[in-house]
Structure 1
Amino acid sequence: MILPKLTSLLFALTFLLLSCSDSNQQKLVVYSPHGKELLEDFAKRFESAYPDVRVEWLDMGAQDALDRVRSEKANPQGDIWWGAPAPSFMQAAREGLLQAYRPSWAGAVDSAYHDPQDLWYGTWVTPEIIMYNNRALTAEAAPQDWDEVLSEQWRDKIVLRDPLASGTMRAIFFAMIYRDYRLTGSTAAGFDWLRRLDANTKSYAANPTLLYLALSRGEAQFTLWNHPDVPLQSQTYGHPFSYVVPKSGVPLVPEGLAIIAGAPHLELAKTFYEFVTTPESFIYAAQKYWRIPARMDLDFSQFPPETNPQQFPALPLDWKLYADSSETWMKYWDANIRNRGKKN
């Protein structure tokens, strides 16, 4: 009888010690659309440098991240919001959702890539491109520019990420509307463009994984998406993806980073902020995840050619207008254009 009791006692003590060990760990909560590969990788790197910290990351769309920070304003649960187009951070800044923090490298980014009150800073610049299935299309046969995707030859051959939850798709849609809006002050031509795109769209994927599967399986031949995911998905997972840089230019989207207002672990959030934005982290992210840094004080000879910003001619965009108008424009698209293009 003594041995079983001793065994039970030892088990209880072990469980208590493990519980105490876990309770001594600090928890940092990160909201991000950067994808599980990058998030898990950087979480492990941070935990290795700070063994008493456990990083809990939640991978979600950019709009989902903004909505979550909004919904938790009265009782913040997250510490860091890492990644989304700059206009999402502009909206959050206006709504008092962000904590001011001036990073050590603040002087190394263009003024267009950060908030004047230090509420957010740009980390990466993401080009939006045309991603295609290279088993279904050759580089020459794939659309070479934005307007070419509207050709009737692509009817039911396009899959898109659901734009309502996706910062990438919202940026692309905004860019297509803004091309004529900046000349005429009217959204009519832009919405007509989106209506014709909808007519060619076979489906809207609820998340990136479903987007990749649909394109990889040949359910569609191409999509409109972000550049870093093309080499990541093709080289890491073997998806048959290649990309075209549209001849007329691409949206170059600054991706932001911010501390959430009322963050439960403010000092730890500042430490994480600095950790993921060191020169070493930027070089690592470029070499492994093809991310183009917003910082201009780095040694670009260490960056892969795929991350050379000169290969991506920029479309003119007004990010303040995006922040002010995107929500209204997307609601109009959802109510009046989604899944209606084929009826016209």
Structure 2
Amino acid sequence: MKHTYLLAGLAAGLAPGIAAADELNLICSADIVICELLVERFEEGHDIDVNMVRLSSGEAYAKLRAEARNPQTDLWWAGSGDPHLQAANDKLTHPYESARLSELHDWAVTQAENAEYRTVGVYSGALGWGYNTEILAAKGIEPPKCWADLTDPSLKGEIQIADPNSSGTAYTALATLVQLMGEDEAFAYLAELGANVSQYTKSGSAPVKAAARGETGIGIVFMHDAVAQADEGFPIEVVAPCEGTGYEVGSMSIIDGAYNLEAAKTFYDWALSAEAQNLMPEARSFQLPSNRAAVASEKAPALEDIKLIDYDFAEYGKTDVRQRLLDRWSKEIGAAF
């Protein structure tokens, strides 16, 4: 295979100024199986070598910010949209209007418009959780159906959720609760929830994987990540919270100052195609694709069947809003853990 997977960081030999014109330095913020499949299929059809690193979306944003004066990355694919919008707000990403925009769902185009075309939606999925039916049954715990149920004392030590500083999934949860409850009420809820949390993970999908392995009872994640575990045969039941929930617009951004700009545009256009997005079910990915002609897995949670809030992507993707909420979370929730 031509591609190189770099799981800790981009190789020193890929410094700007010496990379070949037919290379692409890619950050992927999806599950590694999806990342590897996309890279493999892209390289099969293009004379471009992809050097890929897998980072959570919070880590990806931090990397782009740290390297702003000397970009090491050309393109960032996937991860929840809020950090992509923050990167756009900070002018860390490059405006690009793909010819494929007309093929996309309105929510994907709106994401691009909100970012002045510095990012675009590639998939969507709703927030919820997955619980291990065997663990809860063995302990006589009533399965939670609502956000309010997650603070029940019977669930002490049975919940995992990611740290919103590293995880776009967890930031979406934080912003969702603020929009559902109001900010002070949401932080009071998170403090109460914290009594039941056994671990704040780095990766957004890690909590439900831990639940699948029997290490915890409940993982708060995007619902499609819980579906993926159930599809693999684990005793995971998927829940959309009764009060309503937020959702993500997983996004893609070209990096401002990208050394391999044309290669980045080539991947960007390909990743928006129905051909590329139809690969997702093959990787056991159950998000909803942004290309209208792409076909989601029949197991993917349907947004029309879920009570969704009117999630304000523009507001909660702002740099100052996002940073203020993260700082408050670190001070009031993270520090108390």
Q: TM tier, shorter chain?
A: 0.7 to 0.9
Deviation at 1:303, TM superposition (A): 4.3
Q: Give the structure 1 partner of residue 275 of structure 2.
A: 280
Aligned residues: 309
| 2:64 paired residue among 69, 77, 84 | 69
Counterpart among 309, 315, 324 of residue 315 in structure 1: 309
* Per-residue deviation, residues 150-174 of structure 1 (Å, max 9, x unmatched): 1111111112222220000011011
Secondary structure at the counterpart of residue 221 of structure 2: strand
- The 3-state SS of whatever aligns with 2:160 is strand
Contact kept, 8 Å, 1:131 with 1:243, in 2: the verdict is yes
> Which residue of 2 is the match for residue 134 of structure 1?
133
SS at match of 2:278: helix
- Contact (CA 8 Å) 1:126, 1:226: kept in 2 or not? yes
Q: CA deviation at 1:285?
A: 1.4
Unaligned residue ranges in structure 2 (runs of 5+): 1-18
Structure 2 matches for 1:167-186, cutoff 5 A? 167-181=168-182
Q: Which is further off, 305-314 or 117-126?
A: 305-314
Corresponding residue SS for 2:250: strand
Letter in 2 for 1:163: P
Q: Alpha-carbon deviations, 1:17-57, whole Å to 9, x = none?
A: xxxxxx9783211112102100001100011112x322111
Cross-structure match for 1:17? none
Give me the whole-angstrom Cα distance separating, in 2, the residues matched to 1:263 and 1:199. Answer: 44
Query: CA–CA distance in 2 between the matches of 1:272 and 1:201?
Result: 39
Larger CA deviation: 67-76 vs 302-311 = 302-311
Q: CA RMSD in A?
A: 2.3
The Cα of 1:305 is off from its aligned counterpart by: 4.3
Aligned residue runs from structure 1 range 206-217, under 5 A: 206-207=202-203, 211-212=207-208, 214-217=210-213
Secondary structure in 1 matching 2:79? strand
- Name the residue aligned to 1:123: 122
Change (3 A) 1:58 1:125: same
How many percent of aligned residue pairs carry the same amino acid?
22
The 8 Å contact of residues 29 and 80 in structure 1, kept in 2 or not, is answered as yes
Alignment match, 2:298? 304
The Cα shift of 1:274 comes to 1.3
Deviations 1:52-94 (A, max 9, x none): 3221111111111111111111111111111233222222122
| Residue 4 of structure 1: aligned partner | none
Does the C-alpha gap of structure 1 residues 104 and 137 become closer, same or farther in structure 2, counting only changes over 3 Å? farther
The question of 1:202 aligning with 2:201 is answered no
Aligned to 1:12: none
Q: Partner amino acid for 2:110?
A: A
List aligned pairs for 1:195-344, cutoff 5 A.
195-207=191-203, 211-212=207-208, 214-236=210-232, 238-286=233-281, 288-295=284-291, 297-298=292-293, 300=295, 303-324=297-318, 325-338=321-334, 340=336
Q: Secondary structure at the match of 2:254?
A: strand
Which structure: larger Rg?
1
Q: What residue identity is the alignment partner of 1:112?
A: T
CA distance in 2, matches of 1:299, 1:41: 17
Q: Distance in 2 between matches of 1:190 and 1:209?
A: 22
Stretches of structure 1 that go unaligned for 5 or more consecutive residues are 1-22, 182-186
- Secondary structure at the counterpart of residue 228 of structure 1: helix
Residue 315 of structure 1: how far off its partner (Å): 1.4
Q: 1:298-330 CA distances to partner (integer Å, 9 max, x unpaired)?
A: 265x64242432222211222222123122112
Judging changes above 3 Å, is the alpha-carbon distance between structure 1 residues 248 and 286 closer, same or farther for their aligned structure 2 residues?
farther
TM-score by length of 2: 0.84
1:9 aligns with none
Residues 212, 234 of structure 2: 8 Å contact kept: yes
* Worse overlay, 170-179 or 155-164: 155-164
Residue 160 of structure 1 is matched in structure 2 by 161
Q: Structure 2 CA distance, aligned partners of 1:115 and 1:90?
A: 11
- Measured in 1, the distance between the counterparts of 2:209 and 2:280 equals 24
Distance 1:66 1:304, change over 3 A: same
Contact residue 248 and residue 315 of structure 1 kept, 8 A: no
